[in-house]
Amino acid sequence: MTDGHATKLSVNLNAVAMLRNRRDLPWPSVTGLGRIALAAGAHGLTVHPRPDERHIRRSDVPELRALIDDEFPRAEFNIEGFPSEDFLALVEAAEPEQATLVPDDPAQATSDHGWDFEKHAEFLADAVGRLKRSGVRVSLFADPDCDARAIDFAKQTGADRLELYTGPYGACHDAPGRTADEIDRLVKTADAALAAGMDLNAGHDLTVDNLPPLLARIPQIREVSIGHGLTADALEHGMAGAVRRFLRACGHSD
Ligand SMILES: CC(=O)[C@@H](O)[C@H](O)COP(=O)(O)O
Ligand SMILES: NCC(=O)COP(=O)(O)O
């Protein structure tokens, strides 16, 4: 892929918000880290506000919208979540470029499966129609092993994209023998979605190590949203600089 068509990176800020929420203090700043990510070249920001606000708070959403509008007008805002009335109203107010609908129960620790498109066909068609009438592109979180029938139901909802759930692929970090099978499952789902005329996103537990082999097999993926692995990388690669800054604050010279 040439750079013009390369997969876009949307930085998921949930992990930053979770760190911030450990204290009643404004740092690390979700908006501030979003600014750094966009200034470094990320194509967009993703948030997955959950009903208990354990990481992203409702109040983060308008701040991030304003950051993009005021400072990075070419960037995209992606809001993920279960399409409850509260969520749909939040999305309509924020007018993100994209909403990703995820079948998460509020008690779930993190996203761990895609939609049953046949079972929830009508519910999803209503939610997708409502968001698209507000001008929001809609992506649906999909299991890595959807068959053509499932994809057909997904397509009928009117959604634009499917987001391939890459959690089981990410879990191969300690079971490399399973990697080829997991990629094959994702490729089959991707082929069926592309044949049905749907575009593709991907996300969950992606890292700098597992991303290149995935994109080599499915170069049509338009966007990856990455939070946990990217935040871990930011800590690892930023730790030395932070220690040097604090040593200076303790009075040590370089
Ligand atoms: C849909 C998806 O895979 C991500 O949004 C993931 O669920 C991140 O959410 P948490 O940061 O709450 O785990
Ligand atoms: N949409 C998927 C996503 O945002 C992934 O988050 P993470 O697993 O990288 O934290």
Quick check: 76 and 43 in contact, CB under 8 A?
A: yes
In a domain, 253, yes or no: no
Q: Does any ligand 1 atom lie closer than 6 A to the CB of residue 227?
A: yes
- Ligand 1 nearest atom to the CA of residue 50, by list position: 12
230 found inside a domain? yes
Binding residues for 1-deoxy-D-xylulose 5-phosphate: 50, 55, 110
Residue 115 lies in a domain: yes
Q: Is residue 76 part of a domain?
A: yes
The pair of three-digit structure tokens given for residue 108, joined into one six-digit string: 């779930």
- 254 belongs to a structural domain: no
- Rounded to an integer, what distance in angstroms lies between the CA atom of residue 97 and that of residue 134? 10
Among residues 60, 99, 62, 59, which one has the least CA distance to residue 83? Answer: 99
Q: How many domains does the chain have?
A: 1
- Quick check: is 251 in a domain? no
Confidence (pLDDT) at 3: 56
What is the span of the domain harbouring residue 148? 3-246
10-residue mean pLDDT profile of the chain (254 residues): values are 76 98 97 98 98 96 98 98 98 98 94 97 98 98 97 98 97 90 97 98 98 97 98 98 98 92
DSSP conformational letter for 208:
T
3-state secondary structure of 127: helix
Closest protein CA for atom 5 of ligand 1: 48
SS3 annotation, 142-191: ECCCCCHHHHHHHHHCCCCEEEEECHHHHHHHHCHHHHHHHHHHHHHHHH
Domain of 60: which CATH number?
Answer: 3.20.20.70
pLDDT of residue 218: 98
What pLDDT does residue 176 have? 83
- Select from 87, 110, 163, 223 the residue to mutate for testing ligand 1; criterion: most ligand atoms less than 8 Å from CB: 110
Quote the pLDDT of residue 1: 44
Give the position, in ligand 1's atom list, of the atom nearest the Cα of 165. Answer: 3
Quote ipTM for the complex.
Answer: 0.95
Give the pocket of ligand 2 (CB within 6 Å): 12, 46, 80, 163, 203-206, 225-229
Does the Cβ of 80 fall within 6 Å of ligand 1?
Answer: yes
